[in-house]
Chains A and B, each alone.
Chain A
Amino acid sequence: MPEPGPLVRAFLRLLPKHERSALLAEMAELYAARIERRGRANADAWARREYRRLSLRVLSLRGLPGAALWPVRTPGALQDLGQGSFADVARDSSFAVRQFRRAPAWTAAVIATLGLGIGAVGLVLSVADTVLVSPLPYPEPDRLVRLWETTESSPEFATSDLNFLDFRDRAGGFAALAATPIPFPSPTLVEDGAPVRLTGVQVTADMWDVLGAEAEAGRLFRREEVEGAEAARVVVLGRAFWEQRYGADPDVVGRTLDLDGVRWTVVGVLGSDAPLFDDPDVWLPFAPRLDYPRGDRRLEAYGRLLPGLTLEQAEAEVAGIAAALAQEFPEDNQGYGAQLESFREAFIGPEARRAVISLLGAVTLLLLLGCANVANLWIARATLRAREMGLRTALGAGRARILLQLVTESTLLAGVGALLGVGLAWAGIPLLQRLGPASLPRIQEVALDARVLGVTVGVALLAGVVCGLVPAFHGFRRDLYSVFRDGSGGGGGRGRVREALVVGQLALAVVLLVGAGLLLTSFHRLSTVDPGFEADRVVAVELSLPEDRYPEWSVELSTYYREVVERVNGIPRVRSAAAGAVNPFVGLRLTNTVGREEMTEQEQFLQIQWRVVTAQYFETMGIPVLAGRTFAPEDRDGDRTALVTRSFAERVWPGEEAVGKRFQWNQPGVWSARVVGVVEDIRDTELAADPLPTVFFHHERFPWPWMTLMVRTAADPTAVISDIREAIWSVDPAIPVPALTRLEQNLRAETAPARFSALLAALLAALALALAGTGVYGVIACSVADRTREFGVRMALGADRSGVLRSVLARGGRLMTFGLVAGVGIALPLAGFLRRILYDTAPANPGVLATVVLTLGLVGLAATALPALKATRVDPRQALRSE
């Protein structure tokens, strides 16, 4: 007899000596018997098999842990049903594993369906948890608010220096109230001779208390040192900047930095991240200006409420202060109220919230769809196993025992599915972060944490187990007699449950497909919106000039930009160059109010966007001039002139010729300007919104410091980029030139969230379509298999094939009709939820609905036709004999 290998010997050593020798002696005897009957080769092969089996059995003899997992192998499906629940579970598990190995396709289908559904839910749940639920990275974030001034027409208005000071002095509900002027500065750091452009934010010293921020090194600046007659030039570094540029060197504290030609002393490093301000490199102190007009609303205000105070209480207080200010300073504050917005709201925004909730809804539907499929798969399997269950009942297995078996099986599969799902979610997060729109707040923070994991796995197990139990309750209703009589086991009641599941699946699929259809339509509309300018072959670069050499509104500023534009225009392959105050879709919102010349009340004024541009701006951007002229040298001085967009002209002077008219700026009696030309509407802050009325002023008359240089090139712009950089530096080598971006990239980034939602929705819809299709196929195929004999009889009795085909198709058609009608009924009211994230697309969209119904109809037809055709090929003799 072949000698046992080392592993087998090791196992054998676990047995008591007399058992071991008895076992080996018996084996030798059997070996001899086998040689006699079947020959040596056969006996040798048997011995090797027996050694393998023996190793595992040894464990069960010894009662070692794990022994129960490897019970005696029983031929056939019957299993020893013992008492003792743990041993049962273990034995059931091993039985289940063997069952699954016998039906690999079925098992894979269940695991894959559950895994995909769970993975999608886990992934989206992680996003939702981070974006909507997890606390902002500030201490006690619920006390953080944003203070807005409000007008009738706009609920969100910034505040002015003087108003801010009054709010700060009078409001008792805040632990701290801080302000930051917009736009954020981007100072130039000159260190070791090379200029570097930094991101910065100016804050009043109270911002530290609002954010609850501490210093990582050094200290943070205080109100008394930065507000007052002698404001200290002190700066706090952002942590990331400190780590990246200075290698977290604590000696940086106390050093002086040359920012925009001014020396600043570093007093400390901020100890926390500040996602609300995009983690600026430097924090500069800000002191509200008493000499600024009260009507110049340029400050964003943030506050931390006193502990225990609700948003409503605090809001009532600021509203009262706003009302008092409106009475005290009617010329600047009449018509202005105030309101508070929670930080989370301010940070996330309603669109992102809605998008995430919609997505969560969609994946939940997908999981439900998957569960319906899995339940269907279990029922199909239960049908095949009806005999086994019946036999077990006949042999005395109680319902509880069989239920335990089924629970074990479904839990096992659900567990594997959950594992797969968690793996998919885990793998999906980096993918999501790479593909997801940067505008989705906090997307980089998304991670699978224990809570999300717990919920996901809980959902998974629940879903899996419930799916697996559906057939159990059905099995019990069937009497033994029918189990043995009716071999196929596909009872009518079971068929109806499966049909109901498929109708539900179809309905869910309609909902998902309608959602995806709407988002795709919306994305298509959005990506074909005409921004009003031609973005191709235009590169943009934002420039920022140091305040010491180029003071705000100074002639140095206008000279600088004029020269830069001239020199860039001199580059051979440049068609045209100009500068504008706004980098499309990237820059800030510059808004103000205007009124007709004869208006005397602020309330009558209209909110508009304003832009400062150089002369060739319209030519460079390809914005058509509809009437009048563009800027000319004579606009540099004398009468203030402006170009306005078509919607500006239509809103301010409806039905009248705008060119030659005058409008008042900001509020009655400040100053007015004359319209010299009308241009086409543009969308350069938000593609999805209607174009705002916009007015353009000449840069040489209003020298605004932060301009974006736009260059239209004759061919591919990449070849010209270094020439452009040289041209800019030839005017002033100390000005940093950041990377040039193509305007097309800005446009693409603007449609990125819509593209992302559409992509995700399309993916989910494709899965839904596949699940619904296989669901229909499964049910029809099963019913065809069940009715093989019936078809055989019918055809033997002379029915033609088309009759059989019709009968199967009719069954599929009935399911489809129910499912589609129910789906449309559910989808229509739900679609309204997407309204806010849809662009120019009605939620109740006949085109989308028709496409969805048609698509699902075709898929369903295909899924029905395959088994139907099979039914027509039934050979009557074969069908009858099979019984």
Chain B
Amino acid sequence: MGRDVLGEFEHQVLLAIMRLGRESYSVPVVLELEECTGREISQSAVFVVLRRLEKKGLLTSRMDDNGDGESGRTRRYFALTPAALTRLQESRATFQRLWEGLQTDLDPS
């Protein structure tokens, strides 16, 4: 295989970050995923995946404490890299092609 293939969960995490805006940290990502998938998401899984996606060059992160001053702690904010955007576009195109084929077949009218 030429390169890493995105796992489904990685895929979902990337999409969740995209939905949340330009950058986000792990807690909103977990909540967003739970909202969209309707099932409980493991926080530690997200924690691990975020670091792995960063290693793969699909996310960048920076430490900041501007979000919630009261807690007084720094958070790690993640943002998608251009590579991640390309990958998401590609996979969306693949799925769209696959689904188009299916729909015409099921519903010829």
Interface residues of A (CB under 8 A from B): 21-23, 25-27, 29-30, 33, 46, 49-50, 53-54, 57-58, 60-61, 72-76, 78-83, 394-398, 401, 480-481, 484-485
B60 within 8 A of A: no
B42 within 8 A of A: yes
In whole angstroms, what is the CA distance A82 to B48 when docked?
Answer: 15
Q: Are B91 and A395 in contact (CB under 8 A)?
A: yes
In whole angstroms, what is the CA distance A73 to B30 when docked?
Answer: 14
Q: Are B102 and A72 in contact (CB under 8 A)?
A: no
Q: Are A25 and B71 in contact (CB under 8 A)?
A: yes
Please, which residue of chain A has its CB at the minimum distance from the CB of B11? A78
Q: Are A30 and B43 in contact (CB under 8 A)?
A: yes
Given contacts A25-B71, A26-B43, contact A397 B5 (CB under 8 A): yes
Q: Of the candidates B9, B49, B51, which one forms a contact with A75 in the assembled complex, judged by CB atoms under 8 Å apart?
A: B9
Q: Are B10 and A61 in contact (CB under 8 A)?
A: no
Closest A-B pairs by Cβ, 6 of them: A80-B7, A78-B8, A54-B44, A57-B44, A74-B9, A53-B42
A residues near B1, Cβ cutoff 8 Å: 81, 83, 396-398, 401
A residues near B91, Cβ cutoff 8 Å: 395
Please, which residue of chain B has its CB at the minimum distance from the CB of A480? B98
B residues near A57, Cβ cutoff 8 Å: 42, 44-45, 47-48
A residues near B5, Cβ cutoff 8 Å: 80-82, 395-397
A7 to chain B, nearest CB (A): 15
In whole angstroms, what is the CA distance A337 to B109 when docked?
Answer: 97
In whole angstroms, what is the CA distance A76 to B37 when docked?
Answer: 11
Q: Are B44 and A485 in contact (CB under 8 A)?
A: no
Given contacts A30-B27, A33-B27, contact A484 B45 (CB under 8 A): no
User: Which of A79, A394, A395, A485 gathers the greatest number of chain B CB atoms within 10 Å?
Assistant: A395
A-B contact count (CB 8 A): 96
In whole angstroms, what is the CA distance A57 to B45 when docked?
Answer: 7
B residues near A61, Cβ cutoff 8 Å: 47-48, 51
B88 to chain A, nearest CB (A): 13
Q: Are A484 and B48 in contact (CB under 8 A)?
A: no
In whole angstroms, what is the CA distance A828 to B8 when docked?
Answer: 57
Q: Are B43 and A485 in contact (CB under 8 A)?
A: no
A residues near B98, Cβ cutoff 8 Å: 394, 480, 484
In whole angstroms, what is the CA distance A398 to B5 when docked?
Answer: 11
In whole angstroms, what is the CA distance A139 to B51 when docked?
Answer: 67
A767 to chain B, nearest CB (A): 42
Q: Are A82 and B94 in contact (CB under 8 A)?
A: no
In whole angstroms, what is the CA distance A484 to B26 when docked?
Answer: 35
B residues near A396, Cβ cutoff 8 Å: 1, 5
In whole angstroms, what is the CA distance A126 to B43 when docked?
Answer: 53
Q: Are A72 and B43 in contact (CB under 8 A)?
A: no
Count residues on chain B whose CB falls below 8 Å from chain A CBs: 35
Q: Are B40 and A46 in contact (CB under 8 A)?
A: yes
Q: Are A73 and B42 in contact (CB under 8 A)?
A: yes
B residues near A401, Cβ cutoff 8 Å: 1
Please, which residue of chain B has its CB at the minimum distance from the CB of A37? B31
B73 within 8 A of A: yes
B39 within 8 A of A: yes
B90 to chain A, nearest CB (A): 9
Given contacts A73-B42, A481-B101, 8 further A-B contacts (CB under 8 A): A30-B27, A50-B44, A54-B43, A75-B39, A78-B9, A80-B7, A80-B9, A397-B1
Q: Are A72 and B27 in contact (CB under 8 A)?
A: no
Given contacts A27-B43, A83-B1, contact A72 B49 (CB under 8 A): yes
In whole angstroms, what is the CA distance A22 to B75 when docked?
Answer: 8
25 pairs, CB–CB < 8 Å, chain A vs chain B:
A21-B73, A23-B44, A25-B73, A26-B43, A26-B47, A29-B71, A33-B31, A50-B42, A57-B42, A58-B44, A60-B48, A72-B52, A73-B42, A74-B9, A75-B37, A80-B5, A80-B7, A80-B8, A80-B10, A83-B4, A394-B94, A395-B6, A395-B91, A395-B94, A398-B1
Q: Of the candidates A30, A82, A394, which one forms a contact with B4 in the assembled complex, judged by CB atoms under 8 Å apart?
A: A82
Interface residues of B in 10-65 (CB under 8 A from A): 10, 25-27, 30-31, 37, 39-40, 42-45, 47-49, 51-52
Q: Are A73 and B45 in contact (CB under 8 A)?
A: yes
Q: Are B102 and A485 in contact (CB under 8 A)?
A: yes
Given contacts A484-B98, A485-B102, contact A79 B7 (CB under 8 A): yes
B residues near A83, Cβ cutoff 8 Å: 1, 4
A82 to chain B, nearest CB (A): 6
Please, which residue of chain B has its CB at the minimum distance from the CB of A46? B40
A residues near B52, Cβ cutoff 8 Å: 72
In whole angstroms, what is the CA distance A27 to B39 when docked?
Answer: 17
Please, what's the 1-or-0 string for B81-109, where 1 marks a CB less than 8 Å from any CB in chain A?
00000000001001000100110010000
In whole angstroms, what is the CA distance A29 to B4 when docked?
Answer: 32
A residues near B71, Cβ cutoff 8 Å: 25, 29
In whole angstroms, what is the CA distance A62 to B42 when docked?
Answer: 18
A residues near B44, Cβ cutoff 8 Å: 23, 50, 53-54, 57-58
Q: Are A26 and B27 in contact (CB under 8 A)?
A: yes
B36 to chain A, nearest CB (A): 11
In whole angstroms, what is the CA distance A57 to B49 when docked?
Answer: 10
Q: Are B26 and A26 in contact (CB under 8 A)?
A: yes
B residues near A398, Cβ cutoff 8 Å: 1
Q: Are A72 and B9 in contact (CB under 8 A)?
A: yes
Please, which residue of chain A has its CB at the minimum distance from the CB of B90? A396
In whole angstroms, what is the CA distance A323 to B75 when docked?
Answer: 106
B residues near A29, Cβ cutoff 8 Å: 27, 71
A residues near B26, Cβ cutoff 8 Å: 26
User: Which of B9, B49, B75 gathers the greatest number of chain A CB atoms within 10 Å?
Assistant: B9
Q: Are B27 and A76 in contact (CB under 8 A)?
A: no
Q: Of the candidates B43, B47, B49, B102, which one forms a contact with A484 in the assembled complex, judged by CB atoms under 8 Å apart?
A: B102
